Structure 1
Amino acid sequence: MSDYEMIRSPKTDQGIVIKDEWPGYDLDLFTYPEHYHGDLENIYIPHGVIMDRTECLARLVVDDTDDNYMVALCVLKGGYKFCSDLVECIKSVSRNTPKHMTVRVEFIRLKSYLNDQSSEDIQIIGPEDLSVITGKV
């Protein structure tokens, strides 16, 4: 059984499922920054797999969108890299279709801490008025 078969869930629509007991890929299969040496034990999801799935998601967005203009809402800070990769994939995919898309990105931050204590209230920090994205795809 290959590593891919160990993590693939062929009987469901869940895509790739990583089982708790799966040890991951051996580090010798990858190159990674020197400053991580000694800190990593294995690789669970290689960057190429993440980028492939991001491109698949971009294709779905382009196929499901009737408009040629899109506003992407990025939740900082954790979502920045994924949002950036997804927007670039959407632009790239749409260049190869009859409906070339223009994508604008708006940024917000969510704050749920007050004086180092978690609160149930989530504060949205970003554009003064989120109406700039109301009705946008």
Structure 2
Amino acid sequence: MAGSSEKAPDSGRGVVLLDNWPGYDLDLFTYPQHYYGDLECVFIPHGIIVDRIERLAKDIMKDIGCHDILVLCVLKGGYKFCADLVEHLKNISRNSDRFVSMKVDFIRLKSYKNDRSMGELQIIGDEDLSTLTGKNVLIVEDVVGTGRTMKALLSSIEKYKPNMVKIASLLVKRTARSDSFRPDYAGFEIPDVFVVGYALDYNEYFRDLNILQNVQSLLRSACNPLTMLYSA
């Protein structure tokens, strides 16, 4: 059964960033000059991201490494997390006594317009889900918020009868709108802010930023702390 209710200890929530987390001073890092004046802090340094993804890979291989795995990357926001995670999974497999075959497939979902949820899920490439029949599927997602998007995807996948489905998400948002759905593997739990960077976007902008940043703050040009994931 993919996902679970929030009954796990804090370790199951990933690295928890509190609502008042101020981030790191920009002067401690380097970043592109054309973003000078747009950024206010570094929310999560790249080294921490890399270490956390490596640990997720170890946890995944410990749990399901006895099976061949079909990785289903949710585009577009999940591609960078997926690439890094798969690389760690492959490295672990190469150095183990049992080789685990891993194939990567892709699916595109759309549930946001600008920074707001559209209230429904659009699945692009739904006909390709038939390849999941009988497979051990690892869904790799960028962000789990309310959980409704992932539940809708799981509902679509289940009719193709995969052998097993697990979910890994780089970020999980704390939000009052959550239905308590949680991925099986979570990188970081963050406050309920709309973030971009590290392949996450705002209407296709900011994907090139190796950071996570609060879009609302950026658009208002306010002095509220920006939340960002910086990848030097």
Q: TM-score, normalised by structure 1?
A: 0.76
Corresponding residue for residue 21 of structure 1: 20
Corresponding residue for residue 106 of structure 1: 105
Deviation at 1:111, TM superposition (A): 3.3
Note the aligned Cα RMSD (angstroms).
2.5
State how far apart, in whole Å, the 1-side matches of 2:121 and 2:89 are: 30
Give structure 2 stretches of 5+ with no counterpart.
Answer: 1-8, 137-232
Moved more, 57-66 or 15-24: 15-24
Q: Which amino acid aligns with 1:34?
A: Q
Structure 1 moving runs of 4+ over 6 Å: none
User: Which of structures 1 and 2 has the larger relative contact order (alpha carbons within 8 angstroms, sep 6+)?
Assistant: 2
Q: Secondary structure at the match of 1:57?
A: helix
CA distance 1:121–1:28, change in 2 (3 Å): closer
Structure having the higher Rg: 1
Deviation at 1:135, TM superposition (A): 2.3
Alignment of 1:31-50 (within 5 A): 31-50=30-49
CA distance 1:96–1:25, change in 2 (3 Å): same
Percent of aligned positions with the same letter in both sequences? Answer: 58
State how far apart, in whole Å, the 2-side matches of 1:119 and 1:19 are: 27
Alignment of 1:114-133 (within 5 A): 120-126=119-125, 128-133=127-132
Of Structure 1 and Structure 2, the greater helix share is in: 1
CA distance 1:15–1:131, change in 2 (3 Å): closer
Corresponding residue for residue 53 of structure 2: 54
How many corresponding residue pairs?
Answer: 124
Q: TM-score, normalised by structure 2?
A: 0.48
